[in-house]
Structure formats: structure tokens, C-alpha cells
Amino acid sequence: MNRNSSFKSNKPILYLIPTPIGNLEDVSTRTLNVLKEVDYVFAEDTRVAGKLLNLLGIKKHIVSCHEHNEKIASKEAIKLLKEGYKVAYMSDAGMPCISDPGSILVKDCLLSDINISSISGPNAALNALIASGLDTEHFYFHGFLDAKESVRKEELRNLYKRKETLIFYEAPHRIDKTLKSLFDILGSRRACIARELTKIHEEYIRGNLEEFLSLDKESLKGEMVIVVEGNSEEISKMPEEKDIVNLIRNFENMGMSTKDAIKKASELLNLPKNKIYSLYHRN
């Protein structure tokens, strides 16, 4: 057990600093004060951190700590903390450790008996979730899906039965492929694309995954979070895509035309014919 109070302890503290995800006004007074107070800022990208500190009128020693050198940088941070220096860590945007570096630093600091204090602030996943209109009671944060289609689809198959609202991060150059995989595997669930959060072009697109397939990709620029409805009772009652296709093939094998097989499957499963038609022709 490790029980540490952040403010009533003489132990060194590593501060985890959230940074704006687009809007400089999201820097809180507390973030500002901690940044002024510390001696060293460890950062995912020293240029990005330098720019932010410059805008805030703060001058500090900035040390690089990114996914490829985090283990070595952690040692340096721990040494400084043990020598009595105050240290903060920031990633490029949002909360450190959330699809960003920082976790190794936190774990190593804890192993070296250093306290951790997280400063509250912007996080794209939570900003998107609370405005999505979907269930916020229980949610599952997945972050980025794999770039490779087969791996991405396998990840989604593993998520299919989760009842919690699902949250994904995505980059604009992969959004169309990801939206297609989401629809192919999860079906037409309600969803929300939260784009350019906190920025001038902030936009929420609320609808369902099937509708999202017809979105003009040119209009999906910038940074995005995709929030998707979890598996509801209604959805779980739906047979899986492969079972529907098998059912149609069975009817065909019995001598029915594809058109009749689709009609029959639609009657049997009480699902719209056009839905079964598009699903069948996708496979």
C-alpha cells in the first residue's frame, strides 16, 4: 500500500500539468501558479512547451521526455526531485498519460517514493463525452484504434458487447477508414463526432454510424473524438452480421433468389430490408 497526501507531506512531488487542446484560455490559475513555482518542466515536445510557456510569460528549464526516451528522462526527473527541485510534466495537448507519454514517469516516480499530484484541466475524451448526448454514467475509453484494418476490426469485435459508451481518438487522415470499420463491426449505433474542441471551428456531429458514412471527408478536418453508444439490450438482441449473411446464403442454397432471400431474412428478423440488403452486399 502507498498512501500519500499531496499537500501535507515533505516528500518531493511530480506535478502532472494538463495543457490546452486548442484554447489558451483553458490554462487555469492553478496550472499557471504551479508552472511559475516549479524549477523544471519535463515535456513531450520542448518546442511546444516552450511556445506555451512563452505565451504565458514563464521562463523555465525545459527537458525532453517523450515516448522514445521516457525511461531515461524519468531517471533525470527523479534525480532532480530528490535533490529538492520542483518538477512538472506536460504533454503536447490535454492530459499527460492519456494517449500521451507520462505513465512511465509516474510509475518510476512512485517506485522512488515520490508523490504525484495531478492538476485538473482539458482532456479531449471527457470534453467530447459530456457534450455527446450519449450515456455518461458508464464509459470506456479506447483511445486510438489500430491503423491496420484487420487489427482494428478485431479490436472492435472485442468491444462489441460492451455496454458502456465507447470513446475513440482519431486523426483526420484515417477518419473515413475508422468510421467504416466502426459501422461494419458495431452496426448503426448512435454516435457523435466531436471536432476541433475548444477551438473556433468546434463542431459536434450527432447521428448514427450509418449516417456518418455519407459525410463529406473534406468537412472532417482537424482533431476528432468519436463517441459511440454502448451495446444496448436492443442492439444485443440483433444477430451478428455474419449470422445474417449465413441465413441469407442458406435461403439461396435452398433455391431462393438473393432478392427473395433478403426479403425472407428481413421478415424473419424483423429488420428493414434495405439494412439487410446493404449488410449482405458489404460482405
Name the nearest CA neighbour of 139 among 168, 101, 102, 167: 167
Q: Which of 129, 192, 209, 224 is close enough to bind ligand SAM by CB under 6 A?
A: 224
Least distance CB 36 / ligand SAM (angstroms): 22
Positions in 164-223 near ligand SAM (CB under 6 A): 169-171, 194-199, 223
Name the nearest CA neighbour of 279 among 236, 255, 249, 237: 249
Least distance CB 129 / ligand SAM (angstroms): 11
Q: Which of 125, 186, 227, 247 is close enough to bind ligand SAM by CB under 6 A?
A: 125
Is the separation of the CB atoms in 247 and 264 below 8 Å?
A: no
How far is Cα 106 from Cα 96, in angstroms, rounded to an integer?
10
Residue 87's φ and ψ, nearest 5 degrees, are: -130, 140
How far is Cα 34 from Cα 197, in angstroms, rounded to an integer?
25
**Residue at shortest CB range from ligand SAM:** 94
Q: Which three cell numbers stand for residue 29?
A: 490559475
Piece in contact with ligand SAM (CB under 6 A), picked from 33-41, 48-56, 59-67, 95-103: 95-103
Q: How many residues bind ligand SAM (CB under 6 A)?
A: 24
Q: With binding defined as CB under 6 A, does residue 91 bind ligand SAM? A: yes
Q: With binding defined as CB under 6 A, does residue 129 bind ligand SAM? A: no
Least distance CB 141 / ligand SAM (angstroms): 10
Q: Which of 100, 108, 184, 229 is close enough to bind ligand SAM by CB under 6 A?
A: 100
Q: Which is nearer to ligand SAM, 47 or 75 (CB)?
A: 47
Least distance CB 187 / ligand SAM (angstroms): 23
Positions in 249-268 near ligand SAM (CB under 6 A): none
Q: With binding defined as CB under 6 A, does residue 94 bind ligand SAM? A: yes
Least distance CB 168 / ligand SAM (angstroms): 8
Least distance CB 193 / ligand SAM (angstroms): 9
Neighbour count for residue 43 (Cβ, 10 Å): 28
Residue type, 17: I
Q: Which of 93, 134, 192, 244 is close enough to bind ligand SAM by CB under 6 A?
A: 93
Q: With binding defined as CB under 6 A, does residue 65 bind ligand SAM? A: no
Q: Which is nearer to ligand SAM, 67 or 113 (CB)?
A: 67
Positions in 18-57 near ligand SAM (CB under 6 A): 21-22
Q: Which is nearer to ligand SAM, 47 or 282 (CB)?
A: 47
Is the separation of the CB atoms in 23 and 43 below 8 Å?
A: no
Q: With binding defined as CB under 6 A, does residue 101 bind ligand SAM? A: no
Q: Residue numbers of the site for ligand SAM (CB under 6 A)?
A: 21-22, 91, 93-95, 98-100, 123-125, 169-171, 194-199, 223-225
